[in-house]
Every structure is written in structure tokens, then in C-alpha cells.
Structure 1
């Protein structure tokens, strides 16, 4: 192991230890506070937050860090119980119940879904079910049984208290800790959000004052609009802030006999139960609205910021949503200014009617129109070409509810196509003006007349091509002498009888075009042209076409193949390796902390960095069959046909060291210089893992683990799989 690798590994271990210490301290504080809080409520636990903190920490960190997090969290729980007066056995067993609750939650969640984006509905819904169901229920039974055996406490009382407090903590705090990240908190204090934050604060204070600072009217329902308003204005962070603030105020007022919950009968247990139900409802409302808004904002950003023209229309062909490109093209500053308008507001009546008719036909058929080209002159009379795809939008019940479309400017591409077509026409014109060889052959196959140029075009049989000569005999002699390459005399005679065109390749490299036109008397007029120059031009044109194809599949900045080339060639390479029963590997390489590099040194320096890294990777990847592509942004994908994982690991390490050897200064990186992380996966065609999608997913997962465990390293997917299997077996 190199010194740099040892330092990197040591840095990762220190980071893991520091994170575990912070988590354990948080668990200690929340556990102690939870136990102390019960002293003022007759030992009734309102909410247990320690398990929520531990569960969120485990779900946010890599599996490799779970053991130390669980161990230190268990120790913090034990210490909190000891500090608050429990004996060692009781503290150890109750803390074990808390750890079992976290492990059970993580195990069930991992078994039910592989998603870890808790801003998506599915994992958050499963987490809520697990928290309200088996996780809290099982551990409540264990804890009640332990306290019954050790101290003779009432089983049902302990069970209800434990279950309600733990379930409430997992349902309320865990989602907030999972959803709210550093970026959300940074957004919360961003200058652009100050007015919103101030407005939300005013609304929350007013709502909480109206609800909880009086005990005459049951106005708890007013808290929910305030929660929804905070979520709409501030997103996930706003929902968390509002729920925590409202829950804290509600708890304080209950303990001091204030607020609408105190209107219930004078039973603190019943009031605390009502508070728990109210807090769960608040948390679920805020979380659900935040998740839905998050998905909406993501889709909205994708639509608005796309470079192509994207739009959505209703059944009346009126714009419901458009992106920034459409608005700017139509002469508007904001996309919202186009909402409610139609093509009649943007173009002439005839074209608007045509577009509306086409769109209604698409919606009536529930059909898709793809890549429809259209010529649209601009205000200055310049011809602009656009390519549009449209699809009818269908509801879950099968009813057409609108239309979505994408339009892209293909003016440059169209100009290139026209130029190529004009080039072909010019070549044909030049050929038509050339002095051709000419011969007339009678119906019975004899040359009637021919010009001198016709004879000079055939170097070996030209002297025999004279009037009166028998054409089948001349063709047989030409074949015997090898004058023509891949020559079939019967095919030429067939052309003479029926007419047609044929290209002939002579042994000396000359290309001839034979054009035969039958006459009414059975004779045939034959024109023979030297098309050698044309054939060479055609070859050059093919080369130009190939070059254009290369340009279309080449990244302009790095000179590497682009994502389109990867998509086109990866499936072919996988199919070839599958036929030959040989492995294929894929490397996904990402420049570490590249955003920080751009922020520090500027985008021109970032472009230069990308170019140098790409050149270094290309230099190391020497085999002709290997494919180095720019996958997107600072990510590079390398396809390695006929390479197993062991060989790919060796090459990946060489690539990592090559980039390291560039010694590009990077003050925003812990390493001090630019480094890369690599994830790789190999397909051996076992009948299951044999698609490009699987290969990319595995390599990307390995890359994610490599970056998540410290960066500047190489991670194979099989290692990730073994770790997952080990953890699954251990749990």
C-alpha cells in the first residue's frame, strides 16, 4: 500500500470515528433528555428521539460504518440510562432493545427496497410502516417483558408507553433528519430566501399563538395550514422547522396546562396521548407535502432548464407549462407569461390552425409523432428548421388529458444535409458533361459502331472493340485476361439486352460506368464513362460522412467519444463478447471534488483539467478495442472488451495513478491535487447480468461506494456485492 493510500485510509477512519462520536453524543443527549422528561409526566414518555437519531445516522452512512455507529450508539444509550439512575443490567438490556429496534428497521427497509432517496414516496412510506409496525411493536414487547421480570412493572402500561414514544420518534424525527441535508439548511439562510423565511416565521408565530396561548377554543386545526404554508415556502427544511417548533410549543403548553389539548379531561396520560397523535399527524402532513413538492420542483426544473424547446398543452392546445427556451424564443421574459396562450398568439393564423389540427389528431388517436421536420422563417426572413416530437398525455384511467412536445433547432444539420445533396448533384452534372466512350451493339450482339474513346477505356481488349466484333467473344476474352475485377460477362449481356447501369472495376484501378439504353429495333446504345474520379470523390464523401459521424459522437472539449457513442457501441460490444463467451468490463471514473475545483479556479481551468485528465486516461488505455468516453460532466466511462474484473482493477489502478501523477493542484480537495474515483463492473454472461443497463448500474454503484468511502480509490462491484452479502448474513 502506498503512503498516499495509507494516509487516505487513515483520513477515512478518522472521519468515520468523528461522525460516530457526534452521533453517539446526540444519542446520549436525546436519551437523557427523554428519560428526564418523563419525571414531570409521571414516568410517561411522550417521545423517544434517541432511536430516531441512530436510525437516521445508519441509513445515511455506508454499510461499512454501521457496526461502529451501532456499537457507539448502544454505549451512549447505556450511559444515559446509568446517569438517570438505572442499574447496569437494566441499562444494558433496555439499550439492547433500542439497538434491536434500529437494526430491525434497517433490515426490513433494506429487504423491501433498494432505494435510499427518502425524498421519494416509496422508501418514506415503507419507513413509516416499519416504524409504526414491527420495529416499535417488537421492541416494546421485549422492553415490557424485561421490566416485568426485573422490576415487576405492569406489562401493558410499559408496552403502550414504550411503543407510542418510540413510534412517534421514528415517524417524526427520522424522516426530518433523512430529508433535510446541508444543502437544504444552506438554502434556508440564503439571501434569496430571507423574505420567505421571515414570512413563514410570522405566520408560524401567529398560528401557534392563536392555537396554544389560549385554552378556550379547540383550534388545533389551524396548525396544519401553517405547516403546509411553511412547506410550500421553504421545502423540506421549512416542513422540519415548522413541525419541530409546533411540537415543542404543544408539549410545553400541555405540561403547563395551557392550550386546546388541556381542554380535555384532567388526565395527563390522555392529554399526552392526544399530543402524540397530533405530532404524528403534523409530521406525516409536513413530510407528505414536502415529498410531493420536492418531486414537483425536480420535474419543473428539468422542464424549465432543458436546452430544447419543451412544452405541455391542454385539450384546447393552450400552453399549460413551457420551459425557458420556449419563452425566450417566443419573445417572453418568463415561462409563466405563456401559460394560457396558444399558437394563435405566437404565429400567423394559418400555421396556428395547422398546428392545432395536428395536435388534436394526435390527442384523438392517443398517438405519438416523432422527429417531424418543419421550415419556419424568422422575423428577418431567415429559414429555420425545427424537428418536433409530440405525444398525447393519458391519465391513469386512459383518458387523454393533454399533449407534451419537444422541439429542437436542426437548422445547422439541415444545412449540412443540403450541402451534401448539392455536392452529389454537382458531381452528377460534371459527369454528364464529360466526353464518354460510346458503342452501339446490334440485337445479335455485334458492335455496330464505337468511338475511339470507348476503345481507349479498355487497356487489354480495346484493340478488339471495333465495329463488326462479336461482343460475347470480347467479354469472354476480357474475363480470361483478367481485365476486369469480379467480372461476370452474362451480367453485361443482360444489361445490353434489357438496359441498365453497371459499374466496372478494371485491373489497373480504373472505374467505368456502363449505361445501356435499348433501342426499338433491339439494338443497344452503350455509354461508357471513366468514373474513377467520381468513385474517389464518393470515397471522400463517405469519409466526410464518417467524419461527420465522428463529430456527432465526439466530445468537443476532451476529444473523447461522447455518451451517444457509448450508448451505441456498448450494446454491440456486450453482444459480441456474449457470442464469444468472453467477459467485458466497464469503468466509471469521476473527478473528485470537481465542482469545488471549478469554484476555486474557474471554468476555463476546469475545462483544462478535464482535458488533461482525459488525455492521461486515453494514454493509459492502449488497446484498440477499448472505448474511452465522456459520460457526462466530470464522469468518464471506459469499456473494456474481453477483460475480466481482475484485469479491469489493474487498469483502473493505473488510470488512478496516472491522474494522480499529473499533480494538478486542487486546494479544495483533501488530497491537495486532482484525483479520481473509479467504480467497475464486469459481465460474464451468466444468463442474468448480460445487459448494458445492468453493467452501468453496477459500475455506477461501485463508483458511488468508492466516492462515499473517501474518494481517490477504485472499487469493484463484486466487492460491493460481497460486503452486502456479508452484512445481510450477519444481520
Structure 2
């Protein structure tokens, strides 16, 4: 048949196209909706050792070792379910002579005029020289105990390992291109912030993240394309729950140690060391603010007789009961009560003048009397206390003192309260005595 001049011979074009496909270094193929080969280029013989006619009608999995067929079959099944194109699917194939060839497979879906999926068209490339290493790295990635995933800019998890699936409580195949914004909304917020940081030229920071009552140390890394544009994030999730729990226990232990360091072992009140520190701090504050500080020193009356008559265990119980009564008597959060030693207790009353301190001291006496604790060797026949009170008011130059002077002033204030306590005992016990201190300037 003669063709009009200038019109191409379609038979020649078809033959030319077939020759191009058959001599391409990649293996070109088509499969139907059931995954059976409907077309293979002659390069299949170079790759698999089979002529095209022995490949047509079979599936790609017929040429793979059983374990590999299952692995790739799961991955390809997820691709077909979404009817999407794919690229870079690395797989092992068994040649006609029994040797193994590693191929990289890419393909696009084919649809009929009604939009129904009728198959896939794609290429296979021999990457045996580096394919085994790729598969080994994939195996390491897949079996790693550290949860790892790759997230694109739309939040799709384009790659994840089994540890990531366990973290999310999913099967691995459920994570293929799943949305991070649905699976972990809190994490997606952080990922969006990371993308924003990279777009602004910043550097990513590692962080700790709580998820389902566990803690993870997350290390994000930017993934860039050939042009250097950020296309995704690679993220590793290290479970640090045990470390966080240990840190919590350590913090709690340190808190208890700090508490014990300032607590009297017998009564649970503040101990002498903490009282001395607090008194110094309150005196410094009083100097700055021009406010008075009052001190009450209380002592259990005839306590030695109580111990000798009823025993030391009963004496300890008595001190604990008195301590509880004194502690309940603290009217304000700023009032500080503690055991100063033996049967002596100290009340620090910031911003309290002499009249206010006297009222507090009398209230302390009534509180202890209200316990009605029997005391066979006391004239009152029950436990009572005596209280010495002193009050200090900073002088007009009080704001210009040296910090160390508050230590000597605290000692003077304690001695004055102790002297007042001695007077209360001399006057018959179960009473209050007051000895105010003179206002002092910078010399204390």
C-alpha cells in the first residue's frame, strides 16, 4: 500500500516504539487489575532470565522468594487500595538460574473511560549493586526498637517502622500514608511549627513529648529535595518514660531531704536551724519595710518532772501534743513556729507589735491548757507552758545596715526572749512575760 507523501506509516512508528521499549535499559511492563502481566519488554529476559512469553499472565510475586512476596504484596496492596502512583519500591526477585536480582519498581495506575482501575504501567530497574544494602538498611529501620517515621508537608506518614506502629497502637499497614493530624493531633502541631521554623531559616530543636501516659524524646531532621526545598521531616521517638519516672522519684527524694533538713524529727515542726535562717530573713525584711518583728519563746512547765514520773516515751508524746497545739495557733501564713530544742518552742511573728505578740502568747498558753494533759508533778495537775515575748522595731537608719548584722541581732532577740521566759517562770509559770528591745540602727 502506498501512503500519501508526508504521512507517517503507523506500523513503522509502532515497530519503532517497540524497539525503543525492548532496548531500554529498564524493564517496561503493564499489569491488569489482578496484577497479571499483560505486557513486558524484552529487557525482562536480561533481568529475570525468562523470555517475555513465560512472564505474561503471571504476577510479580511469582518471581519473588515467599517471604519477599508477602512483604512486597502488603506494600503493593496498600498502593492499589488507594489507586495511587508509587516509586522506589525495592524488591528481591529470583532469576531463572536461582540467583537473586534486586529491582526498584515504579508505576502509575491505569483507568478506563468510566474511571475504574484496570491496571498499572511501570518500570523495573536493576539496582543489585546497591539494592542489598538498601534492603539491609530497610530491615534495620524496620526492626529498630526506636519508633521512626517520615512525615510530608501535608502530614502524611509516608514511611514508618513497626516500633512507630506499636507506639500508635496500629498495624504497620494502617500507617501507610495515614495522617499525623488524625493519629497524633498534638504532635502535628509541633510538626507544623518545625516546618515553619525551617521555612524561616531556623534550626530544628529536639524536644520531649508526652503521649498516652508515656514520655518520648523526639529528634526531627529536615528532608530536602534536589533543589534544597524542605519536603518532609524524619522523626525518631525514643521512649524516656523510665528516665522521667526516675527523675520524678529523684525530685521527690530531694524535696523530702530538703524538708527533713528543716524539720524537727520528733514534732514535725521547723527545727532550730531553719528557725535561725527564717529569723534572719524576717529581720532583714523588717529593716527594709520598717516593720516590727516579735518573738515568743515557750517552755513546757516542769517538764523534767514529767519525764521522770511518766517516762521519756510519754514525754515525747507530750511534746508532740504541745507542738500540734502551737502549730494550730499560727494565725497567719507568715507566722513561723518551731521546736528550738528540748521542751522549748519559738514563734516568729513578722510585722507584729508588742501588743499583738502578747495576745498571741496568751493564746498559746490557753491552747496548751486546753489539751488537759495530766501532769502529776505540776501545781496545776496538767501540762502548761510559760512564754517570754520580745519585740524589735528598726530605727530610722535601719535600711543602711550590713547584711551580717542581722545575725547578731537575731542572737540578741533570742536572748531577750529567753530572758523574758525566765521572768515568766520566776513569776510562777503558766504565764507570759514581756521584755521589749530598744530600736536599733545600722549597728544592730
Give the number of the structure whose residues are more often helix, by fraction.
1
Q: Which has the higher contact order (CA 8 A, sep 6+)?
A: 2
TM-score by length of 2: 0.47
